[in-house]
Amino acid sequence: MKRFCNHRNLIVNEAINGLIRSSYGVHLQKLSGDDGVNVVLRKDWDKSRVAVVSGGGSGHEPAHAGFVGEGMLTAAVCGALFASPSVDAILAAILAVTGDAGCLLLVKNYTGDRLNFGIAAEQARAMGYKVDVVMIHDDIALGQTRKARAIAGTVMVQKIAGYKAAQGASLEEVAQSAREAVAAVRSLGIALTDCDVFEPNHHSRLSESEIELGLGIHGEPGAERLSMATLDELTQRVIEKLAPTLEEQHLVLMVNMLGSVPVIEAQAIMDSVARNSFSSRLKWVIGPAPLMTALDMLGFSLSIMPAREDFVEALSARVEVPSWPGMVPFERHLPSTPMPVLPETFRYPPSPNAILERAIREGARILEENELSINALDEKIGDGDAGSTFAESARQILKALPQLPLQSPRELCETLSNLLARYSGGSSGVLLSILFSAAGRNEDWREGLLAGVKLMQHYGGASLGDRTMIDALVPAFEALKETGQLSEAARAARAGTERTKSMKARAGRASYVPEDQLASIPDPGAEAIARLFEGLSKAFP
């Protein structure tokens, strides 16, 4: 797998340096003097309050360094990828931030972290420092025990303890608030892939048809391996395991992304949770956001805790930490405002025309039949959706067929323009809407189509020879006007499309593609037009 990386052994140090140099890290600094110690701490810390320190292996960003700041962590100790930091690094962090008020260590329940943080705490105590340790074990995948792993719920514990410390509470009080948070929080994750720890020959243990429920944040195998399913089904699998672990009716939910989930899918996950009956118990929500990730794992986790007044107060308090997404009241019923009244799509009464109806059905069939092959062609030079854009336009027209004024070419063109403008996506759909808009203003439909192409060129910015569907449409419409024969229009469209193979792209997405990658490839839009005319000419010889 390709990575933005100089070397696996350098990535943690370089990432921390980058964080501190970034707009996210203006309030941060780093301990210096030892390349093996990666400790991030606040610039403004004066040791007058209880220090809250956490950390562990790297690869879970923004955790933990991304949560250092006023109201959360005082310092974070960062180990190598998925490896506990050394005892010396942890001890250095304790000594750097701890004053008379003492220090609380928030430790994830993994063997290396338990040992190294525990030994460092003992050494600090022997030096006269007040240090307390709280172990976090929020993962319910393998049962609710003190041996459970710590996953994303860790961040909620950090936020609650950090808030308490910021209020000037004693070490005992801060530690108690953290322990109560640990006892209250439950988490469970689900993923479509495992993660690659910068291994050149990494091979995922999951096939395209498999997912795992309850896997760890280091790529540990999940508690269950399941078949791939829809988003709502996957969300339901997480909720049906998680929800019964808390009896309280009112809950706080945190939606955590595990590394590689695109923003659009993260938002869809949030909506999926809202559609589940479980959402009736939710009063507050955090995220969706990447909080405790697992490098490039394609998955998410849900964390819940009771909506206790003190938890809500702590979790909703503002912090200077940019990586904390904040907490807001949960809106089960989607806020909305009435839709403005738009112009009528169907302004004319429907009227029958058997030949035109057959032509529309045949045209839709042709475009749908060629959807995948045109997409595959578009993938070579664009974003791979040209076939879907044409096919979806055809489906919308086919769906509206009973409402179309087929007896009047002018009224039909105007209606098709309205229909495509409202329901078709992509530039092709809009351009075709413009074409039909101009055609609908002309009594002679052949002249109208040519006028429509000119308007397309005006708004789209493409001309003949620019390697777009214009190179198929113009010759096809001109041939149709001169001969009235679909076969001639098809031949002209095909010839225009073939010419695009050797054209320099001066418009559309292909204009951003290196010229050598376009050689011998026809413009996908022109190819779709040519296939449409060829198909229609065979159906209407």
Residues designated catalytic: 218
* 84 and 33 Cβ atoms separated by less than 8 Å: no
Pairing of strands 103-108, 282-290: unpaired
- Number of Cβ within 10 Å of residue 538's Cβ equals 13
Cβ atoms 45, 97 nearer than 8 A? yes
Go through the chain and tell me how many residues it has: 541
What is the three-class DSSP state of 118?
helix
Residues 6+ apart with CB under 8 A from 490: 476, 530, 533, 534, 536, 537
Q: Is the CB of residue 406 less than 8 Å from the CB of residue 356?
A: yes
DSSP state letters, 409-462: HHHHHHHHHHHHHHH--HHHHHHHHHHHHHHTT-SSHHHHHHHHHHHHHHHH--
* Token pair listed for 157: 């514990």
Q: Which residues contact 533 (CB under 8 A, 6 or more apart)?
A: 472, 476, 486, 489, 490, 493, 494
| Phi and psi, residue 288, nearest 5° | -75, 145
Question: Which of 202, 138, 131 has its CA nearest to residue 172?
Answer: 131
Whole-angstrom distance, CA of residue 28 vs CA of residue 39: 10
Cis check: omega of the bond before 250, within 30 degrees of 0? no
Neighbour order of strands in the sheet with 131-136: 28-30, 39-42, 75-81, 51-58, 103-108, 131-136
Question: What are the DSSP E strand ranges found in 59-200?
Answer: 75-81, 103-108, 131-136, 186-191
SS3 187: strand
SS3 334: coil
Residue 28 to residue 30: CA distance in whole angstroms: 7
Name which of 430, 413, 441, 422 is nearest 345 in CA terms.
Answer: 422
